[in-house]
């Protein structure tokens, strides 16, 4: 098997190992994928200032966030269906994150349930939540998160309706037959053995109360279309706040006014995010939205960001532009899809090594000192 030296290598390995419909779901965005591409391209275009003759023999990458010290200013953001990329994939990713000293965020649209992660990990993790029409289901999931000692709640608010994802239609994931997907799976024997056979059950763990244990892809997309709530408002954020005592983070902020509104509604942090380019195509890339959003709430709450991060160098760029913490998405999911938890652990090591080089060559010895002064504005 090809040795991976970067996230882009892991992407190619995942493409070769995963069934076509799963890779397209992971890799794709909405409509013409303009925002998806901009997330990566705009971030790579951010230029840094190289500084020399500084003592960079000691580097501190630790970060304080929500009362905890993390080894890196990096976490694993929520990725739906990641339990289909490797056998019990969310468990493997959570263990890799815990071993590396960074947070793991469980998607509410996961294969492994909250209770399974809690049982296997035996440590706190973050929980991602959508506010859907069935408030009883939301309340039950919040109760499970409390029972599992989840240490933060990521409330995703940029999905009142699902974006149009052409790749999913073309690949057969949405609207395609189970037979078509099964044939694609058989063309990937390594995945078919590891996940298709040994990775059962394939039900959507957190949705079992409403879908049952035999839920499949048809149920997944049908449930999403019927249950995401276009009526969601800031009143619903207040309702979640009343029912959640821990750190509450709003994910899906792109505008300064929305960031200020989040601060006014008593949340503890925000994530600058366009859902990985999977919702409204043509909106700003995360990195372009970040500076004005960070300025709008400067000093009032931590600002997290995701979108297009493919290296430790990208992490440094996001921090320099105003982020306090960076969430990985596709970067860890590609690694999970190609080499399971071992791949996720390796990606985190790559991110750390790349961060160390970037910090040394920009003259920064501590993460907390990374700021706009290391950006080349010329």
Catalytic residues: 275
What are the tokens at 169?
Answer: 């239609």
Angstrom distances, CA of residue 68 to CA of 152, 258, 267:
11, 26, 17
**Burial profile 319-353: b = 16 or more Cβ within 10 angstroms, e = fewer:** bbbbbbbbbbbbbbbbbbbbbbbebbbbbbebbbe
Angstrom distances, CA of residue 65 to CA of 75, 257, 323:
11, 24, 12
Which residues, listed in sequence order, are joined to residue 187 by a DSSP beta bridge? none
Of 47, 240, 63, 227, residue with least CA distance to 142: 240
């Amino acid at each position: 098997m090809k040795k991976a030296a970067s996230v882009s290598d892991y992407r190619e390995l995942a493409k070769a190992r995963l069934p076509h419909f799963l890779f397209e779901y992971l890799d794709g965005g909405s409509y013409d994928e303009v925002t998806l591409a901009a997330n990566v391209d705009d971030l790579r275009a951010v230029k840094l200032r190289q500084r020399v003759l500084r003592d960079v023999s000691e580097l501190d990458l630790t970060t304080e966030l929500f009362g905890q010290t993390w080894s890196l200013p990096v976490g694993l953001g929520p990725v739906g269906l990641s339990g289909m990329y490797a056998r019990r994939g969310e468990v493997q990713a959570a263990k890799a994150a815990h071993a590396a000293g960074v947070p793991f965020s469980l998607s509410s649209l996961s294969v492994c349930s909250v209770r399974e992660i809690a049982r296997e990990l035996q440590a706190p993790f973050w929980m991602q939540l959508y506010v859907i029409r069935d408030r009883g289901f939301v309340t039950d999931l919040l109760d499970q998160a409390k029972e599992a000692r989840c240490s933060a709640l990521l409330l995703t608010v940029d999905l009142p309706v699902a974006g149009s994802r052409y790749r999913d239609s073309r690949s057969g994931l949405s609207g395609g037959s189970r037979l078509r997907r099964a044939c694609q799976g058989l063309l990937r024997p390594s995945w078919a053995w590891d996940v298709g056979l040994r990775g059962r059950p394939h039900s959507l763990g957190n949705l079992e109360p409403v879908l049952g244990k035999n839920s499949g892809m048809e149920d997944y997309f049908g449930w999403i279309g019927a249950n995401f709530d276009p009526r969601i408002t800031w009143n619903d954020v207040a309702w979640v706040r009343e029912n959640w005592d821990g750190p509450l983070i709003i994910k899906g902020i792109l505008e300064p006014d929305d960031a200020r509104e989040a601060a006014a509604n008593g949340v503890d942090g925000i994530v600058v995010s366009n859902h990985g380019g999977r919702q409204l195509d043509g909106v700003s890339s995360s990195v372009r939205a970040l500076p004005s959003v960070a300025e709008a709430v400067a000093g009032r709450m931590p600002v997290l960001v995701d979108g297009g991060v493919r290296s430790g160098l990208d992490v440094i760029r996001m921090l320099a532009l105003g982020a306090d913490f960076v969430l990985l998405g596709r970067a860890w999911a590609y690694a999970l899809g190609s080499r399971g938890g071992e791949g996720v652990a390796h990606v985190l090591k790559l991110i750390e090594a790349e961060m160390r080089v970037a910090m040394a060559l920009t003259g920064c010895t501590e993460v907390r000192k990374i700021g706009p002064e290391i950006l080349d504005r010329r």
